[in-house]
Structure 1
Amino acid sequence: MTGVSEKPNFPELVRVCARIGFLSFGGPAGQIALMHRELVEERGWVSEAQYLHALNFCHLLPGPEAQQLATWIGWKLHGLRGGLAAGLLFVLPGALVILALSMLYAWSAQVEWFVALFLGIKAAVLAIVVQALMRIAGRALNTRFKKALAVVAFLALFFLDLPFPLVVLGSGAIGIVVAAVRPEWLALKPLGAPPAASPRPWRQTVTAVLVWSAVWALPMGLVLLVLGRDHVLWHVGVFFSQLAIVTFGGAYSVLAYMAQEAVHGFGWLSAGEMADGLGLAETTPGPLIMVTQFVGYLAAFRAPEPFTPLVAGMLGAALTTWVTFVPCFLWIFALAPWIERLEHARRLNGGLAALTSAVVGVIANLSLWFMLHVLFARVDEFRIGPLRLYAPDWPTFDWRAALLAALAAALIFRFRLNVIKVLVIAALGGLILARIG
């Protein structure tokens, strides 16, 4: 189907969005392709041009672009309630599965077979992250300037330990300047005809910002009043609220920052457990950034007072999910009326191109950080002047993890198996090696 068909009624939209929510495996690329097939090709509810314009618009926003695209489509078809239905149904199936897996993980993490199972999952995550790095680099780094930005971002994060928001937002600012003076450095495409003049939707935007900012802050206000600033739930809510603002370029771009802060800054979990959480998120429907819920659950589960560990963990997971995804609704409902205007903003597009290039360096940082902490039981940090360096403890090298990582890499790059099959095979490999190791 190529044209746009009649707008669906609301129950039909809900039914199709629920189907997409339960089938949205495979990361943002697979999720975007699934929505395109279901909503553009098969049903024609939005046109190809509208879909691509909206996708480019969502790339400009912090947060999971696939979930925001689903929210925009719902908004386009049925306004506020359509956006809420589509966005929530994209998130809820994966959120419920991750919650159940987080509960199982917290109670079983010391069981021998469980440890062996997740040895394989952690090893597979290494290969999966490297695959994401190569895929994004191949698509994004099409000029020398972009390649240089990626290298600088990697050096700034891995060796200089500069703050992640500074690197990402700084890259975007550089892109805005370069777009004005040397757009060819960013390979920016010529702009088409500007949209027809129309009233600017300031009222809609301001109303959405005020309402959704209050919704975003509501549970944090309750935590502050009941538990205070020293409780783990307050720290969880503040951290993941900040993360929601700087999550440009997809989940992989922010995982290293989140992992390093959660592991070394707050001590909520170990580096190996962080890799376990990413493996769980890879196997469930919905956005990969849902791994934040796993972190929030463990953080509260391990500092539960005045609740029981189970109740605290569920509150931590719920709060994390709330402050991670409510901002996505804010961005869409506030900015969707501006979509055609933003599509023709050259400087904004330049900032996005530069930011996407820096994301390659960010993911390279994540890949190397995960590799060190999965292959070695102990990794020390030390500084030489402004440089932050890592020193793996070689006697703690885990040959089983290295073997399983090599197997996962072969399955992905040589045999081109999908992520879920690779994770299952690597997990079974971990169980087998535990028996013979």
Structure 2
Amino acid sequence: MASLVVTPSITFTDLLRVFTRIGLLSFGGPAGQIALMHRELVEERAWITEDDFLHALNFCHLLPGPEAQQLATWIGWRVHGWRGGLAAGLLFVIPGALIILALSVLYGIAANLNWVEALFLGVKAAVLAIVVQALLRIAGRALDTKLKRALAIAAFVGLFLFDLPFPLIVLGSGVIGMVVAAKRPDLLALKAGKAGEMLPARPWRSTILSVAVWGAVWAAPMVLIAVMLGQDHVLWEIGAFFSQLAIVTFGGAYAVLAYMAQEAVQGFGWLQPGEMADGLGLAETTPGPLILVTQFVGYLAAFRAPEPFTPVVAGLLGAGLTTWVTFAPCFMWIFALAPWIDRLGNAVRLKGGLAAVTAAVVGVIANLTAWFALHVLFASVGQRQFGPLRLYWPDPASFDWRATVLAVLACGLAFGLKWSVLRILAVCAVGGLALSLPL
């Protein structure tokens, strides 16, 4: 894990100071976070070049996990080796993780209070508009060929109507993309690799060492839980589930939310449907990766099945474990694969796999959008099975006019006035209080 120092004048203290600032200001999801790092590290400080920044960003899109956090880790690694990568990656996550943890504790204690429910009615409506906006933005960028649009539609149909496993959608799309890239790269709007280009040596030793070290770091808490509490305990379920999620989270937090929500709500029974929207609303209002919403889920799951701990202690352990198994793999991917970045830049098949996965992710986000819309606008949503076909069936009597009014308001603020996420959430939260509480 050797360092690739760009500018000798960049001290480790400089790196700590700059990434602390970035960690505290990284609002706005991946797009806002990447733009912030570009301004701070490319435009203002020139720590890395524009080409290196874009090359690294494409590389991070190949990996599972939050691309903005992995980009921060890569930049730290590029400047100060493994300790720079560790510092930059942690500082990008820690401020938001601490805030989400505090809000999760408050939510677990106050979730049944009327005013909190009213507040989150508005938050859920705002989140619906934010997710719709994310869907349209990503679709506009990603679906630039007929094949990509077909993959997006197939992913949506497979998830929403046939309840296919999320990992199958991701892996299947990746395989299709790699095959197409080898035969007809134009169908995915890919450019051919540069023939005859000299590539750096294969850094096997660094990669193997990184996988061994970070694999052990990743597994350590799970081994402790298995020994102390057994594999029937909720903490084991949390760690195993989010470890699996860390491997298949291609396309960012929005892409995996539908799968996580369905498992957390319908599979494990950890949360109610509306609580997933609450958690996303909390993550939207805080700095750091949006995938920190997983910490909220881990806290509530352990908080509600605390034995042999108290609820709050169990919740803290669940949140800490979730964060650990979510981000330890991110460091492993970067430290193991960053030395290969120049070789990967010429790998057309890998680019094809990424392009296909990105297209399928649009369908995944469309599934999330439909799922959220049903559970925000209707208090009761059932399911009906017609052979392999699964249909959601909302109860018309449970239609929530307040949520509908607030969702329309949020869409107007997002698309018409182009307000920021924080302003939309604030206005809709106040609107939820105004429409719900007695005068």
TM-score range normalised by the length of the shorter chain: over 0.9
Matches within 5 A, 1:20-419: 20-192=22-194, 195-419=197-421
Q: Secondary structure at the match of 1:248?
A: coil
Contact between 2:27 and 2:288, CA under 8 Å: does it hold in 1? Answer: yes
Gaps of 5+ in 2: 1-5
1:435 Cα offset (Å): 2.9
1:199 Cα offset (Å): 2.3
Aligned length: 434
For 1:247, the aligned partner's letter is: T
Contact between 1:376 and 1:394, CA under 8 Å: does it hold in 2? Answer: yes
For 1:52, the aligned partner's letter is: L
Counterpart CA distance in 1 for 2:321 and 2:7 is: 39
Q: Secondary structure at the match of 1:305?
A: coil
1:200 Cα offset (Å): 1.0
Q: Deviations over 1:24-70 (max 9, x none)?
A: 00000000000011011111111111111100100000000000000
Q: Secondary structure at the match of 1:61?
A: coil
1:296 Cα offset (Å): 0.1
Q: Deviations over 1:270-328 (max 9, x none)?
A: 01000000000000000000000000000000000000001000000000000000000
Contact between 2:200 and 2:342, CA under 8 Å: does it hold in 1? Answer: no
Counterpart CA distance in 2 for 1:278 and 1:404 is: 17
Counterpart CA distance in 1 for 2:184 and 2:195 is: 21
Instruction: Indicate the RMSD between aligned Cα atoms, in angstroms.
Output: 1.0
Q: Secondary structure at the match of 1:383?
A: strand
Q: Deviations over 1:323-344 (max 9, x none)?
A: 0000000000000000000010
For 1:35, the aligned partner's letter is: M
1:197 Cα offset (Å): 3.9
Q: TM-score, normalised by structure 2?
A: 0.98
Counterpart CA distance in 2 for 1:148 and 1:12 is: 47
Contact between 1:63 and 1:245, CA under 8 Å: does it hold in 2? Answer: yes
1:196 Cα offset (Å): 2.7
Contact between 1:120 and 1:401, CA under 8 Å: does it hold in 2? Answer: yes
For 1:268, the aligned partner's letter is: W
Q: Deviations over 1:150-197 (max 9, x none)?
A: 000000000000000001110010000000111111000233466534
Counterpart CA distance in 2 for 1:85 and 1:213 is: 19
Contact between 1:119 and 1:401, CA under 8 Å: does it hold in 2? Answer: yes
1:434 Cα offset (Å): 1.1
For 2:129, the aligned partner's letter is: A
For 2:187, the aligned partner's letter is: W
Counterpart CA distance in 2 for 1:54 and 1:197 is: 16
For 1:274, the aligned partner's letter is: M
Counterpart CA distance in 2 for 1:279 and 1:194 is: 49
What is residue 429 of structure 1 aligned with on the other side? 431
Q: Secondary structure at the match of 2:390?
A: strand
For 1:119, the aligned partner's letter is: L
Contact between 1:195 and 1:340, CA under 8 Å: does it hold in 2? Answer: no
For 1:156, the aligned partner's letter is: G
Counterpart CA distance in 1 for 2:62 and 2:293 is: 22
Counterpart CA distance in 1 for 2:9 and 2:405 is: 53
Give the stretch that moved more between structures: 55-64 or 7-16: 7-16
1:6 Cα offset (Å): 4.7
Q: Deviations over 1:83-141 (max 9, x none)?
A: 00000000000000000000000000111111100000001110000000000000000
Counterpart CA distance in 2 for 1:273 and 1:315 is: 20
Contact between 2:7 and 2:79, CA under 8 Å: does it hold in 1? Answer: no
Q: Secondary structure at the match of 1:100?
A: helix
Counterpart CA distance in 2 for 1:136 and 1:279 is: 20
For 1:110, the aligned partner's letter is: N
Counterpart CA distance in 2 for 1:269 and 1:130 is: 23
